[in-house]
Chain A
Amino acid sequence: MQIDLQTINIKPLRQNFDHLTARFGDKPASRYQEATYDIQQTYLYHYKPTWEPELEIFDERRTAIRMKDWYDFKDPRQFYYGTYTLARSRMQDAADAAFEFALDSGMPETLPDAARRLIVEVLVPMRHYEWGANMNNTFISAYGYGTAIEAACMFAAMDRLGIAQQLSRVGLAVDGEAALDDAKARWMDAAEFQPLRRLVEDTFVAKDWFELFVAQNLAMDGWLHPFLYTHVEQLSLKESGAFFGLSSKFQKDWSAETVRWVDAMVKAAIGDSDANRNLVAGWVVHYTARTREAVEALATAVFGDEAASVVSVIDEAFAARLTKIGL
């Protein structure tokens, strides 16, 4: 039976703010649209930045790509702060349940050596990679153009901090502070991490924020996350059961969701013009080659003779993803 609650119905004068009516017509805009479209100023700035006097506060020239409408970078997940925090708190709850189960079952204490080493020598040092991703996404939020992409990048930056913190907790659980100290030492000095660290530091001096988006969120994550959370995890599973997987639930859930957003951003850029497509394709080639080199070094350390085949699987999957995007 239908319950038809009555409320007093007053006819509104208008459905929307003007800027949303101009875009979407006189029907009520969604909360995502209200939260996002045209919020960043574009028209006038009183003063030039003292940190970059040649450009304006917000300036399209901070990237080589051009967009007819910067709001074509709309988020397919339609995250505004409310829906974002809700999604993340749910994702965190699920991850916490998995990790707590692992801890309560005494898994850290009973890890076989090989599995322990995978955690401490491969997984935990990646907290620094995640911190680099935080820095890069924060850069995009700072210097990007248009609320749609930059706000989503700030959310992504906080996600990477969250992941870095989770990886840190895994280290603490397995071997206390020593795990974190060792992980840092590996990140800084172990041969297998240097191509990756060098790449990460090179991204820290990139100036073009969309280039950085392609480098970090498409190329680097597009290789590193499958490497860790598919291939290394499978290896760990063989060695010792579920601890690696139970510690990494957040990253897997997050990755599946984030890839949709990343792909949509790249698609929007390359769909806007051939000039954009050429730029993005060039960046993809460059950063994929560097990322591949970094993953090869890690894969060799972890998989030995199997490294080439692991890398090849990742390569094929990434190439398929690029094809789907349209590159």
Chain B
Amino acid sequence: MDMKADRKLSLKDRYRHLTRGLGWETSYQKMDDVFPYDKYEGIKIHDWDKWEDPFRLTMDAYWKYQAEKERKLYAVLDAFVQSNGHLNVTDARYINAIKLFFCAFPPLEYMAHRGFSMAGRQFRGVGTRVACQMQSIDEIRHMQTQMHTASNYNRYYNGIHAMIHQLPRIWYMSVPKSFFDDAITAGPFEWMVAIGFSFEYVLTNLVFVPFMSGAAFNGDLGTMTFGFSAQSDEARHMTLGLECIKFMLEQDPANVPIVQRWIDKWTWRGVRVLALVGMMMDYMLPKRIMSWQEAWEIYFEQNGGALFKDLARYGIKIPDCVEQATLEKEHISHQLWAGIYQWNFGTALHAWIPGDDELDWLSAKYPNSFDKYYRPRLEAWREMAKDGKRFMNTGLAMNCQVCQYPTIFTEPGDPSTLCHRELDYKGEKYHFCSDHCKTIFEHEPEKYVQSWLPMPQLYQGTCGGGGVQEWMDWVHLVPGQDNMDFEGSQDQRNFALWKGLASSNK
């Protein structure tokens, strides 16, 4: 376009002029006052100009590429809505997987957006701010396209209607919500390690890919289209996260132990959140992509392994928690589904006992754990349900002070014993699901004493009263509609009815 004047400029230099060249050292106000938040974490940056732009996208190109993607996405979404595309999913149980996705992701994409707005203002490096700002509006995009996709499911199926109300109230949403609250209350550098690096780079294939592939495998054109459309955004986000890490590590060796501590913390917090994804992959997709164990092996042990080999030259080592996460790959999905099943009265999604072919798939995929530890409980529950005594755990569950799960995880190496760790801090007891959650607390106790834990809160009477019925009203969970077994649910009846309407002349 303006080739004549600047053909001597390389692409890299041109981009620098159009981004970091815009900034200046302020003189009427101190730079430290203009950028008050980028030093307190102790990360030393000596030369912001050493920042390598992870991608080069000027706004004119951004608007054009993104508008084109939006046009295509909404065309598919409109067609999906108009043709009752939701009836093409493999099995109406699948919709519960997508309820988990839609109830958690949009408000949390929104948190990512706000966090990147903050980083997009607070880093004094201009190139860094530009990349963060682009991610900030990408996250708006993801939130909004997800809301638009969810909208159609909400009209026809239960459990999604109260998603905004439920995110800060319903017990299992405490897990991902506290994750993002933790990241956004950190400073900008830790934010980048938590979200930009750990979530968007290291763990992204273990979050995004399973849900989107799950959609593709199970005939969910709407969600699948969102996923494919978001891929190139995610590619940019990955490069930003990786550049951030490298930049911090290269700027000063004193940054290395700080960054290591953050990588350790956020890998563990991320692994814990991912139990929800593992459960979804192993139990909630009628047409499964692969097992959680397989996904962990490919995307963390292999890909992650290669990444940490690359970072070793900076002095970064694989987080200690990876050992436990690897041991647990054979267990956490089963442990969490067992929890969802027994507390199903308190979930905005349906549960079920897997069918025989699905139990056999689980046996094959988990030869070391499933038949010994998990099949027996599922089969016992199946028998109880047949006898009219559907198993319910009407007791309230202990929560981990850090990850906020009910403490369903077992001792590493002993899957028959629930893991318990405890400490005293300023005269109060605190409990944890694991050594790694306990370590996170020990490094920042004043942060985690603040956790709003669902079950202790219920007993305090802050959740509508003190009892379970009041709690259900308070979280806007409609009993007999949003919760409990898929078998006999309105979702099941409606799906069958509508599919019948769509394919017969009765």
Contacts and interface: CB of A to CB of B under 8 A. Distances in A.
Tell me, yes or no, whether A binds B.
yes
Interface of A: 7-8, 10, 12-19, 29, 31, 34-35, 38-41, 43-51, 57-58, 80-82, 85-86, 88-89, 92-93, 96, 99-100, 103, 108, 127-128, 130-131, 134-135, 138-139, 141-143, 147, 150-151, 154-155, 157-159, 161-162, 164-166, 168-169, 172-177, 180, 184, 187-188, 197-198, 201-202, 204-205
Interface in B489-504: 490, 494, 498, 501-502
A86 B5 contact: no
A168 B130 CA distance: 15
A147 B178 CA distance: 20
Nearest to B498: A10
Contact of B137 (A103, A154, A184, A188): A154
A180 B17 contact: yes
Interface in B18-39: 18-19, 21-24, 26-29, 33-34, 37
Among all A-B residue pairs, the 5 with the closest Cβ atoms = A162-B59, A12-B155, A131-B22, A89-B67, A35-B144
Given A80-B144, A135-B121, A138-B133, A169 B164 contact: no
What is the predominant secondary structure among interface residues of chain B facing chain A? helix
Nearest to A7: B82
A173 B4 contact: yes
Given A155-B137, A165-B19, 16 more contacts: A13-B156, A17-B162, A18-B161, A47-B181, A81-B66, A81-B137, A82-B67, A131-B22, A150-B117, A165-B58, A168-B21, A172-B17, A176-B8, A201-B27, A201-B29, A201-B34
A174 B5 CA distance: 7
Interface string B141-179: 101110110110011111011111101110000000110
Given A47-B447, A131-B22, A205-B33, A14 B154 contact: yes
B286 interface: no
B164 A38 contact: yes
B84 to A, nearest CB: 6
A48 B368 CA distance: 43
Given A80-B144, A128-B24, A154-B113, A177 B9 contact: yes
Interface in B126-148: 126, 129-130, 133-134, 136-137, 140-141, 143-145, 147-148
Contacts of B494: 13
Contacts of B498: 10
A70 B370 CA distance: 51
B110 A158 contact: no
29 contacts: A7-B83, A10-B498, A13-B156, A13-B490, A13-B494, A17-B151, A19-B165, A38-B164, A39-B106, A39-B143, A39-B147, A44-B169, A47-B447, A82-B67, A82-B144, A85-B63, A86-B71, A88-B67, A89-B64, A147-B110, A157-B133, A158-B134, A158-B137, A161-B130, A161-B133, A169-B1, A169-B18, A172-B5, A176-B6
Contacts of A154: 113, 117, 133, 136-137, 140
Contacts of A47: 181-182, 185, 447-448, 450-451
Nearest to A32: B144
A48 B450 contact: yes
B452 A46 contact: yes
B47 interface: no
A44 B171 CA distance: 13
Given A47-B181, A47-B182, A31 B106 contact: no
Contacts of B447: 47, 50
B371 interface: no
B44 interface: no
Nearest to B147: A34
A204 B29 contact: yes
B270 to A, nearest CB: 16
A147 B164 CA distance: 13
Contacts of B134: 158
B356 interface: no
B340 interface: no
A173 B161 contact: no
Contacts of A45: 181, 185
Nearest to B64: A89
A142 B70 CA distance: 25
A46 B155 contact: no
A81 B70 contact: yes
B168 A14 contact: no
A44 B452 contact: yes
B476 interface: yes
Contact of B168 (A41, A50, A166): A41
A81 B65 CA distance: 13
Nearest to A39: B110
A57 B185 contact: yes
A219 to B, nearest CB: 18
B107 interface: yes
Task: Pick the most buried of A16, A127, A151: most chain B CB atoms within 10 A of its CB.
Answer: A151
A187 B23 CA distance: 11
Task: Tell me which of B2, B82, B167 has the highest count of chain A C-beta atoms within 10 A of its own C-beta.
Answer: B2
Scoring B137, B448, B490, B501 by chain A CB atoms within 10 A of each residue's CB, the highest score goes to B137
The CB with the most chain B CB atoms within 10 A, among A29, A39, A130, A168, is that of A39
A43 B106 contact: no
A35 B70 CA distance: 14
Contacts of B63: 85, 88-89, 92, 162
